Structure 1
Amino acid sequence: MFSKTRVTEPGPRSPSPETDLNRPAMDHHFDLPAQQPARTRSGPSVLSSDLTVKGNITTQGDVQIEGTVEGDIRAHQLTVGETATIRGEIVADEIIVNGRVVGRVRGLKVRLSATARVEGDIVHKTIAIESGAHFEGSVQRQEDPLGNGVTPKLAPPAAARIDAKAE
């Protein structure tokens, strides 16, 4: 099938009837830019409902959580599924909460659907809360909610401050 000269000759091989068409042809010429090429977005990474992660998750892509995460999450777009529970801070450009989050939420666009259950502060640029969503915490609008600086703890509601002074 193969002659010795074909195997030892340098350079790319072109497919022929004698070569294995199931193997990709080797191309030894690369024109890569100095920087990494831009990533093409495929679908989101999905953590299924039977998965529990203990630790932080960081990605520049999109993530859909259906299981349980005990740790902080940073992503481009984060979707918290109806069966999901997240215990930790979540930071993303766009956050869609359909499940449960216990911890701070920081995002440019934050959306709490009717099935959302959030216990913690929300720092956002824009927010949408659907009727039926359960939310306990404070909401604060910032121009740059994703800033690397630490966001100060939000003040308690005015009624709570009055009670604290009475003590």
Structure 2
Amino acid sequence: MFQAKQSNNPLSFIAQSCQVKGNLTFSGDILIAGTIEGNLSTSGNVVIEAGGVVKGNIEAKDVTISGNMHGEAHCHKLSIADKGCFEGDIFSEKLEIVESGQFIGQRHLASAKSASKAAVTTSNTKEKTNKEKPNELAEEQPLTEKQ
């Protein structure tokens, strides 16, 4: 009669009494009420609750901070909630700071950084292609008759 709700993004939770050290990779949303010392990467969203602390870099879709974060955040949108504090560099397209939220650091547009990464990747791909197929490049040049 009733079916279990299927979630596209699994939720991971770091409880208040948890202290985690090291680099972490997740596939879904993360809710942090404890302390993480290390880098955090996910394809989902990150929420740092009041009392939660992250000392390291975060790479996620969206980041919401009600606790404290020190490091870099690479995301689409970063929100600093009431009494939330972020110290470091933000690489995002959107930034929202609610009254009483604190931001100490610099904000960089994510699109500029992404564009430079894409340009380097494209350049490297072209160089590899040219090195791997030297005969094809020679064949594309017009041949002239010998006189």
Structure 1 residues 47, 127: CA separation in 2 closer, same or farther (over 3 Å shift)? same
Higher fraction of strand: 2
Q: Deviations over 1:48-98 (max 9, x none)?
A: 000000001111211101100000001111001111111000110111111
Does residue 44 in structure 1 map to residue 18 in structure 2? no
Aligned partner of residue 132 in structure 1, secondary structure: coil
For residues 1-167 of structure 1, what are the structure 2 equivalents within 5 Å?
Answer: 40-41=7-8, 44-75=11-42, 76-143=44-111, 149=117
Structure 2 unaligned residues grouped into runs of 5+: 1-5, 118-147
Distance 2:56 2:116 in 1: 17
Indicate if the aligned counterparts of 1:80 and 1:99 stay in contact, CA closer than 8 A: yes
**Paired residue total:** 111
Q: Deviations over 1:110-146 (max 9, x none)?
A: 1110121111011101111111111110011222767
Percent of residue pairs bearing the same amino acid type? 23
TM-score, normalised with respect to structure 1: 0.61
RMSD in angstroms over aligned alpha carbons? 2.1
Indicate if the aligned counterparts of 2:75 and 2:110 stay in contact, CA closer than 8 A: no
Indicate if the aligned counterparts of 2:9 and 2:27 stay in contact, CA closer than 8 A: no
Residue in 2 aligned with 1:26? none
Distance 1:67 1:147 in 2: 34
Deviation, structure 1 residue 40:
3.8
Letter of the structure 2 residue corresponding to residue 88 of structure 1: G
**Which of these two proteins has the greater Rg computed from alpha carbons?**
1
Higher fraction of helix: 2
Higher mean alpha-carbon deviation, 42-51 vs 140-149, is at 140-149
Indicate if the aligned counterparts of 1:108 and 1:144 stay in contact, CA closer than 8 A: no
Letter of the structure 2 residue corresponding to residue 41 of structure 1: N
